[in-house]
Amino acid sequence: MLDKLNRTNLLYDIYSALLTKRQQEVLQLYYSYNLSLAEIAVEYGVSRQAIHDLIRRALTSIESFEKKLGLYALYCFQDALLQEAGTILEQPVGPRERQRLREIIEQLQQNNEQ
């Protein structure tokens, strides 16, 4: 559950500029400020169902953006490599570790060129 929330928040951070202003506001109220659907509905003077539908459409949109652009997947890929590099650097660095760091750098460069 927490992983899904974190993923949704990261997707929002990446793609929020592609959403309508109202979608941005409602997602922020719901996910960042933890307001209920009813509270948001009162704020906008609409039904709870309208807010629910708006959130579903906004989430569908950001999932669609991710499917097309893959920026979240790219972030996860790069983050995993950087985490691994950080772990390697916390220990004494020998020839094997140096080689793995070179591979990580190469992977990041190749991915950056695409």
pLDDT greater at residue 67 or residue 111: 67
Establish how many alpha carbons lie within 13 A of residue 48's alpha carbon, considering only the half-sphere containing its beta carbon.
5
**Mind listing the pLDDT tens digit for each residue in 19-43?**
999 999 999 999 999 999 999 999 9
Q: How far apart are CA 6 and CA 60, in angstroms?
A: 16
pTM greater than 0.75 (yes/no): yes
Any idea which architecture 2-68 has in CATH?
Orthogonal Bundle (1.10)
112, pLDDT greater than 80: no
Cα–Cα distance measured from residue 98 to residue 80, given in angstroms and rounded to the nearest whole number: 17
pLDDT(60) > 90: yes
What six digits make up the tokens of 8? 């949704």
